[in-house]
Amino acid sequence: MTSERIISIYNKKLASLNTSFREKKIETTFGKTNILIFGDDKKLPLFLIHGLNSAAPFAFDTVYFLTNKYQIFAIDLLGEPNKSDFVRLNKKDNSYGKWLLEIIHHFKADSYTLCGISFGSFPILKSLLINDIKVKEAFLISPAAFIHGSLWKTIFKFIIPLKKFQNTKNEIYLNNCLSSIYDEFDGLTLRYQKEVFTNFKMDFSPTPNFTKSELKKIKIPITIIASQNDFFVPFKKLKNKCSNLSNLKHFITLESSKHIPSKKTLEKIFNKLTS
């Protein structure tokens, strides 16, 4: 379960965004799901999904600038350190896709856009394979479920510092761990991840990759944003996997970014994409 300290930091991050929002919990077949709603309801809805070991306020902070064009529905993934139920869905069936479609159906959107960060791309792709009729387009940032990452770099740059931090509680190792995947992170992200790494049962189960034949079934336009220094999702392997996908609208490589690019970098890219 998610500890009170994690929820406390979640709320502080939410307050630090300094913007108005609505918070709504909805019942789904798979568990209660918390959603943060930002922006003008006259704008096109964008459903935003964060990655593993994260939460909606942190994902929104990464792409806050998208409220210039969209009303953002930032979803707390089930089974992660946030305000949704602690329920781990089956990655091998269609549960994640069905769960996301239930949430979207609840808001009765006539047309909508999707945006996933890291593992957040997985439920999006699962949903698109079930039903993509009302989807305008999808943006996938450092998307999981396409390829396997670099095992040795993951071990040496992420897993070893993580284990050293968990064993010693020395924040030097925590900083090393986070610096390997984030271009930048603030004090609340540091405090949040410290609590997650210390007091949350993280999900290390493998995420199955979609086959090329599955990806070719998706017809809506997809933009993929990859990063040159991302060892979780190496950009060259990802680009190769995406070659010959007729629905690939853009494949963008950020030359000096890591798994979670900086807000400034993403804002520049999205300003070009959505202008």
Q: Locate the domains of the chain by residue range.
A: 17-150+210-273
DSSP letter string over 190-215?
HHHHHHHHHHS----PPPPPPPHHHH
- Name the residue among 53, 90, 57, 97 with its Cα closest to residue 74: 57
CB 183 within 8 A of CB 95: no
Position 220: which residue type? I
> Which 8-state DSSP code applies to residue 159?
I
To the question of pTM greater than 0.95 for the whole model, the response is: yes
Helix/strand number for the chain, H first, E second: 11, 8
- Name the residue among 97, 100, 109 with its Cα closest to residue 76: 100
Rounded CA separation 152/115 (Å): 29
Please report which confidence band the pLDDT of residue 204 belongs to, taking 50, 70 and 90 as the band edges: confident
Q: Is 147 exposed, middle or buried (0-12, 13-18, 19+ CB in 10 A)?
A: buried
Q: Which residues pair with 188 in a beta bridge?
A: none
Question: Average pLDDT, stretch 254-258?
Answer: 96
What would you measure as the largest C-alpha separation in the chain, in angstroms? 51
* 274, pLDDT greater than 90: no
Question: Average pLDDT, stretch 150-178?
Answer: 97
Q: Which residues pair with 141 in a beta bridge?
A: 117, 225
Please report which confidence band the pLDDT of residue 1 belongs to, taking 50, 70 and 90 as the band edges: low
Name the average pLDDT for the chain: 96
Q: Confirm or reject CATH 3.30.2010.10 for domain 17-150+210-273, answering yes or no.
A: no
pLDDT value, residue 245 = 93
DSSP letter string over 98-138?
HHHHHHHHHTT-SSEEEEEEGGGHHHHHHHHHH--TTEEEE
* 39-60 pLDDT tens trace: 999 999 999 999 999 999 999 9
Instruction: Give me 138's structure tokens.
Output: 């999808």
